[in-house]
Amino acid sequence: MRGNKSIFMIHQTAVIDKSAIIEDNVEIGPNVVIGKDVIIKSGSSIGANSYIEFAEIGKNCKIFNSVSVGTSPQDLSYKDESAKVYIGDNTTLREFVNINRGTKKTEKTIIGQNCYFMASSHAAHDCRVGDNVIIGNCTMLGGHVHVGDNAFLSGLVGVHQFCKIGKGVMVAGGSIITMDVIHHAMCHGDRAVLSGLNLVGMKRRKMTADEIQNIKEAYKILFMSKLLLNDALAKLENSESCHVREIVDFIKTSKRGILRPE
């Protein structure tokens, strides 16, 4: 049922399931369909012709026209198990964005706070997208993809299922990601390779000069020395830098392997 608080505006052509909970100051545009098991929190807006089901939309989200959230996953093994999409506060989904709900494996697709999905981008079932992530036009995240906080994926990027994109990563337009990308790196190409560190991004996030230098040195040891990967990881695993230790843990837990420079 709907909440008891005042509703800012629901267009008369919108169709809302009786199970939906709509908080105060929510705007719902023409021909919107709000299906089963939906919560839309205060201050959010839903553009015309959008379709939402099995989803929780955070506060002050902006969902533009013709967006699809919470529809069943494009997974042949899915058999209508209970699953949802969770969208964090202050996230924007532009026109024709499509985000599928989870499968029985995790039961959740999670998009963080302050994210920006540009037009026609897609997050498949069971994805985990961190906070402050930007997804470019027509970029596609396969099932079970993880994207770390503050990552920027440019337009026309394809990310293979089960890949992990680290924190603060910058992915160039048109890249195809088939392996994991370490924190704070940049990558490009088909198939993508590392192209250095996202120094501009680190500075914008106000990381200190010492923190950035530690990451630079770790990058050199991992990819520019003649050490085997396991030996390089052993050299770095006791680093005083928490950022370097995060990179080491990221690589050790990678199941698809990691991108490397050319």
User: Given pLDDT bands bounded at 50, 70 and 90, which one contains residue 105?
Assistant: confident
Q: How far apart are CA 255 and CA 59, in angstroms?
A: 35
User: Given pLDDT bands bounded at 50, 70 and 90, which one contains residue 37?
Assistant: very high
Asked if pLDDT for residue 7 goes beyond 60, the answer is no
Asked if pLDDT for residue 1 goes beyond 80, the answer is no
Structure tokens belonging to residue 232 = 């390089």
Task: Please state the φ and ψ torsions of residue 191, each to the nearest 5 degrees.
Answer: -75, 150
Class (C level, CATH) for 202-252: mainly alpha
Which one of the listed residues 122, 125, 183, 184 is annotated catalytic? 125
Tell me how many degrees the CA angle 229-233-236 measures, rounded to the nearest 5: 140
Indicate the domain borders of the chain.
9-144, 202-252
pLDDT of residue 8: 58
Q: How far apart are CA 4 and CA 7, in angstroms?
A: 9
Strand partners, 140: 122, 158
Q: What is the pLDDT of residues 176-227, one digit of tens each?
A: 999 999 999 999 999 999 999 999 999 999 999 999 999 999 999 999 999 9
Same-fold call for 9-144 versus 202-252: no
Q: What is the pLDDT of residues 119-174, one digit of tens each?
A: 999 999 999 999 999 999 999 999 999 999 999 999 999 999 999 999 999 999 99
Tell me how many degrees the CA angle 229-127-103 measures, rounded to the nearest 5: 120
Q: Is 125 a catalytic residue?
A: yes
Class (C level, CATH) for 9-144: mainly beta
Which one of the listed residues 102, 142, 143, 201 is annotated catalytic? 143
Q: Is 29 a catalytic residue?
A: no
Q: Is 126 a catalytic residue?
A: yes
Asked if pLDDT for residue 6 goes beyond 50, the answer is no
Which one of the listed residues 126, 131, 149, 180 is annotated catalytic? 126
User: Given pLDDT bands bounded at 50, 70 and 90, which one contains residue 4?
Assistant: very low
